[in-house]
Structure formats: C-alpha cells, structure tokens
Amino acid sequence: NAGVTQTPKFQVLKTGQSMTLQCAQDMNHNSMYWYRQDPGMGLRLIYYSASEGTTDKGEVPNGYNVSRLNKREFSLRLESAAPSQTSVYFCASTSPIAGVPDTQYFGPGTRLTVL
Amino acid sequence: KNQVEQSPQSLIILEGKNCTLQCNYTVSPFSNLRWYKQDTGRGPVSLTIMTFSENTKSNGRYTATLDADTKQSSLHITASQLSDSASYICVVRNRNNDMRFGAGTRLTVKP
C-alpha cells in the first residue's frame, strides 16, 4: 500500500508556463483534495472531489483547474503559472462515513517554484 | 484573522522534557478538532481527533485536551524524543464539513 503518491516532488516553472500535478491513492477512498501550504499560514483548500465525477472549489481556486480522472487519480493543473503560486502542494484523500470523524491521508507534497 | 490560531509559532526544548502546544479557534458550529504531525518535507499525519464530548485523548506520549466552551485545545508531549521534532498542526472542522488549518507550531527537540 503506497497510500497517497504525488508527482513530481519538485518543479521550477517560469511565469506563464503550464503544468499538471499528479496525485493517486490506492486506499479506495471516495474523496480527494488539493491544498497549498505557504509559510506562516495553514493549509488552504484549492479544490476537492467528494466522489468520482464531481469536483468543487475550495477556499483558493483561482488560477487552478482539477480533473478527477477516476477513483484513484486527482490532478491539479496550473494553466499559466504566476509567482504567487509558488508553494508546497499537498494532495489528500479520505472516505467520509456519516456520523464518524474521518481521517485525511496526505501525500508527500510537491514543492513548486515559479520564477 | 485566521479561525485557528496556534501558539507558540516555534519552540525548542531539550530531549526528555515535556511541552504543551496551544490551539485557539473560532470555527463554528464545532464538529471536531484534530492534531497532525508534519515532519519536514512530508505530508501531515493524524495524531488524534477530538469531538465535542471529549475532554482528553491520549496517543502514546501525546495527550490532547479540548475545552469546547473556551474553544481551546492543547497538545502535551511527554518525555520528548528527537523524533518529535516536527510541525504540529491543529485542524478544526465545522458541521458543514469545512476545515480550517492552523499555521502550526514548529517543535525542535535538541539532544
């Protein structure tokens, strides 16, 4: 069981370039999430997918798009990268059960620098 | 202002000593509060979760407390080890399933 995997681990982009961050989980979880983590701030939700075929905006969705390719995979795309998108990006997954607090499992993160 | 405030921002202690990390929140209506440990260069890992009715919960050398009336939680680490060096993140969820993350406390345990 690899849990949640993310690729790449590191990436440097120039302003205006595009790229896709990949995330996959092998725990058969229904819900998947993309967060960004910036110094001095808590993780902020970019987009989430409650189940296969659905996606919703989180707290900071501007400049990003997502695709829930199948139950396992959830990708995050930056169409035209900006220096403000320099951050560490985390993917997470969980399977919520009504009435039971669920645990999110996080990937190792992708450190992105936009010059 | 962040709905989840953690203190201190950073803390340095000697191996074997105890420490307490604080989390104050304004998230409402409250559903649960979770403490995560995040090692450098890794994703957060859940340590403990507390619901409204729970005051104290332990996980090995980690003990979390919750006072839902004052909207405060603490994480106490006993007999610290070098491997406890990490960031500790407080996350509060409301009943609409929205989560708010604190900025974390960076703990360094020195030999």
A41 touches B at CB < 8 Å: yes
CB contacts of A90 in chain B (<8 Å) are 43-44
Helices vs. strands in chain B: H and E counts, helices first: 0, 11
CB contacts of B49 in chain A (<8 Å) are 101, 103
A89 touches B at CB < 8 Å: no
Residues A78, A65: Cα–Cα separation, whole Å: 7
Instruction: Quote the strand ranges of chain A, DSSP E.
Output: 4-7, 10-13, 19-25, 31-37, 44-49, 56-57, 64-68, 74-78, 87-94, 105-106, 110-114
pLDDT (tens place) for every residue of chain A, 115 residues total = 679 999 999 999 999 999 999 999 999 999 999 999 998 888 999 999 999 989 999 999 999 999 998 999 999 999 999 999 999 999 999 987 777 777 899 999 999 999 9
Cα A26 → chain centroid: 16
B contact test, residue of A33, A37, A49, A105 with most B CBs within 10 A: A37
pLDDT at B1: 63
Which residue, among A60, A92, A76, has the nearest Cα to A18 in the 3D structure?
A76
By C-alpha distance, the chain B residue nearest A107 is: B43
Report yes or no: A64 and A76 within 8 Å, Cβ to Cβ: yes
Q: How far is A70 from chain B (nearest CA, A)?
A: 23
pLDDT at A97: 73
The band of B76, judged by pLDDT with boundaries at 50, 70 and 90, is very high
pLDDT in tens, B7-57: 999 999 999 999 999 999 999 999 999 999 999 999 999 999 999 888 999
Peptide bond between residue B29 and the one before it cis (omega within 30 degrees of 0): yes
